[in-house]
Amino acid sequence: MEETFYHYFIYKPYRMLSQLGTEGYKGKKGLAELFPFPKGVYPIGRLDEDSEGLLFMSSNGKLVSIINSAKFEKEYWVQLDGDITPDAIAQMQNGLTISIKKDLVQTKPCVVIKLNEEPQLPPRHKPSRAGQHRPSSWISIVLTEGKHRQIRKMTSAVGFPTMRLVRVRVGNLHLGNLESGEVKPIPDLLEALG
């Protein structure tokens, strides 16, 4: 008999952990607060607590390495402190050296585009401090890797700290018009990703 798997994609809200439970994390929120996920369903991939956007849940643990592989592009919309320059964009596109757990790591070349308009996203329950000290700008960044807090470290390294970070696409699956905290079941996760 063929095993039945459950798959979901969600808009992980800002200030929520990328895990179901919060035992040992006093005052934190977990994904179990969003939906009564069936037993055996877990997150695939991660988004930092202060990042938001597209996150997958599945009962098929074998999908973890496939989805986290370089095969699937991950696109993020990033609000930056300051009006990003063409030189800073070029530095990120070409790859730069960042520190991950005290090791210096070279990022792979990636696609970075300055967005001409602020993207249409659900409001964050705690607004970013953008625009308080200097103008802000938005970029789209497409990666095929996912080092710890990589985008935040990249934008900081070129002088434009990240104010808001939203994953909007993995492979062919887009966040679309999902609202923050919304959960959608999907029949076949790999097929949806393309």
Residues known to be catalytic:
48
Q: Are 52 and 13 in contact (CB under 8 A)?
A: yes
Contact by Cβ (8 Å): 94, 86: no
Q: Which residues pair with 98 in a beta bridge?
A: 105
Rounded CA gap, 34 and 13, in Å?
10
Cα–Cα distance for residue pair 193/176, rounded to 1 Å: 14
- From the CB of residue 54, how many other CB atoms can be counted at a distance below 10 Å? 23
